[in-house]
Amino acid sequence: MKFKQIVLTGLLIGSTAVLADDGFVAGLKPDERPAGAPVISTFQPTEARQAMAFKGIAEPRNGVGFVKDQGAWYTPFDRPNLPGRYDIRGMHSNDNKKKD
């Protein structure tokens, strides 16, 4: 009897997750763009974005020419990574840094 209750409870919880509508989901047909998917028509890079992308990189900035062609695409290059001694570009704030 207990096994039957566990199975029925699992089915009930699973069915509510299926019935919940979270809104727009892109990517159900990867070969075509969904009709309601958001589109970036123009992209204008801001000074703040440029500053974050080049933070911690001294002149001459060799090997980072891709940043000008990056556009609105996601890149982990301009986001902070691990803190502490691994933060070689200093992208984390000084008050969060570990003292070695």
pLDDT digits (tens, 9 = 90+) for 41-76: 888 888 888 888 888 888 888 888 888 888 888 888
Residue 8 placed within a domain: no
Average confidence (pLDDT) over 75-94: 83
For the chain, the domain total comes to 1
Whether the predicted pLDDT of 20 surpasses 80: no
Cβ atoms 97, 83 nearer than 8 A: yes
Residue 11 placed within a domain: no
Residue 32 placed within a domain: no
Residue 36 placed within a domain: no
Q: Is the alpha carbon torsion for 47, 48, 54, 57 positive or negative?
A: positive
Residue 28 placed within a domain: no
Tokens of 65: 């020419």
Map tokens 């009930």 to a residue.
Answer: 12
Residue 79 placed within a domain: yes
When pLDDT is cut at 50, 70 and 90, the band that residue 19 belongs to is low
Distances (CA, A) of 16 to 4, 25, 56: 19, 18, 48
Quote the CA–CA distance of 95 and 9 in Å, as a whole number: 48
Residue 35 placed within a domain: no
pTM of the predicted model as reported, rounded to 2 decimal places: 0.49
Q: What is the pLDDT of residue 97?
A: 46
Whether the predicted pLDDT of 5 surpasses 70: yes
Quote the CA–CA distance of 74 and 94 in Å, as a whole number: 25
* Higher pLDDT, residue 24 or 78: 78
Q: What's the Rg (C-alpha) of the chain? A: 23
Domain holding 81, by residue range, is 41-100
